[in-house]
């Protein structure tokens, strides 16, 4: 079992029109994980998001980074771009985090502490102590049923396969074949956890409370969930054999 701290973490945050949330998000990150650097991967925002990020870069030079892409290319490709950016530098862990404040920055110290002993850590809504807030009944059903279905198809032990508040130590991202990851959105979170599990990494869950976004609209829908449910069968029968 690991017993070493993360010395140089990078938080990867995909953005599409998230300007209104950036000040609070970065304040929370600086308060709770001040040593972490932040990489935004922006997909063609038109609300001033890149400009606001650049203003924060001036205030915290060398701590905040930005990849600008011309249009909406998908959550999965945004994270993969962030992972590759981190691996090309000397970061020893990457944290996935939403820009909309549904992931509480106050949970960052617990993710980092858990990573002393685990190479992959998932902020889980569905273990004891985890919860969701301000969700409609349809959204709760989509998320719960999606997780149960994915766990059944994949034979996976994780309670929250679809969550997006995750920490990956460098050794996981080096081992998992990132070029083989094809999923987008909801299914991307499932695929990355499943590939890490099949590569032999014990993925550890810690409880978090997921609060529905304050500004904008959730991207979770029955269509997105259905696409993910189709994708898990491709993972079940198309991936490499399972590791220990």
Q: What is the mean pLDDT of residues 157-183?
A: 94
Neighbours of 53 (CB within 10 A): 23
Q: What is the dihedral of CA 187, 76, 72, 90, to 10 degrees?
A: 160
- If residue 225 lies in a helix (H) or strand (E), which one and from where to where? helix 222-238
- Answer whether residue 188 is part of any domain: yes
Enumerate residues 6+ apart whose C-beta is below 8 A from 192. Answer: 79, 166, 168, 176, 181
In this prediction, residue 153 carries a pLDDT of: 92
In this prediction, residue 212 carries a pLDDT of: 79
- Answer whether residue 243 is part of any domain: no
As a whole number of angstroms, the distance between CA 46 and CA 240 comes to 40
In this prediction, residue 242 carries a pLDDT of: 38
CATH code, domain with 114: 3.90.550.10
Q: What is the value of pTM for the model shown?
A: 0.90
Q: How many domains does the chain have?
A: 1
pLDDT of 62-103, one tens digit each?
999 999 999 888 899 999 999 999 999 999 999 999 999 999
pLDDT of 181-217, one tens digit each?
988 877 899 999 999 999 999 899 999 999 976 554 5
The answer to whether residue 232 scores a pLDDT higher than 70 is: yes
Residue position matching structure tokens 């499932």: 190
Q: What range does the domain containing 131 cover?
A: 9-238
- Answer whether residue 2 is part of any domain: no
- Answer whether residue 76 is part of any domain: yes
- Answer whether residue 3 is part of any domain: no
63 class by beta-carbon count within 10 Å (0-12 exposed, 13-18 middle, 19+ buried): middle
Tell which wins on pLDDT, 22 or 231: 22
């Amino acid at each position: 079992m690991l017993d070493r701290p993360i010395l140089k973490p990078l938080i990867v945050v995909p953005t599409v029109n998230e300007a209104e949330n950036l000040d609070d998000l970065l304040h929370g990150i600086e308060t709770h994980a001040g040593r972490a650097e932040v990489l935004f991967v922006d997909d063609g925002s038109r609300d001033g998001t890149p400009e606001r990020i650049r203003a924060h870069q001036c205030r915290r030079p060398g701590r905040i980074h930005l990849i600008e892409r011309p249009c909406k290319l998908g959550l999965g490709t945004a994270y993969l771009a962030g992972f590759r950016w981190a691996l090309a530098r000397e970061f020893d862990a990457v944290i996935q985090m939403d820009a909309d404040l549904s992931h509480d920055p106050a949970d960052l110290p617990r993710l980092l502490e858990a990573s002393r002993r685990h190479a992959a850590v998932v902020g889980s809504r569905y273990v004891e102590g985890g919860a969701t807030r301000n969700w409609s009944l349809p959204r709760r059903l989509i998320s719960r049923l999606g997780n149960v279905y994915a766990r059944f198809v994949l034979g996976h032990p994780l309670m929250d396969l679809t969550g997006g508040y995750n920490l990956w130590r460098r050794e996981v991202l080096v081992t998992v074949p990132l070029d083989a990851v094809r999923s987008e959105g909801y299914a991307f979170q499932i695929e990355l956890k499943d590939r890490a599990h099949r590569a032999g990494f014990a993925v550890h869950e810690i409880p978090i409370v997921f609060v529905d976004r304050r500004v904008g609209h959730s991207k979770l829908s029955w269509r997105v969930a259905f696409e993910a449910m189709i994708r898990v069968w491709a993972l079940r029968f198309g991936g490499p054999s399972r590791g220990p």
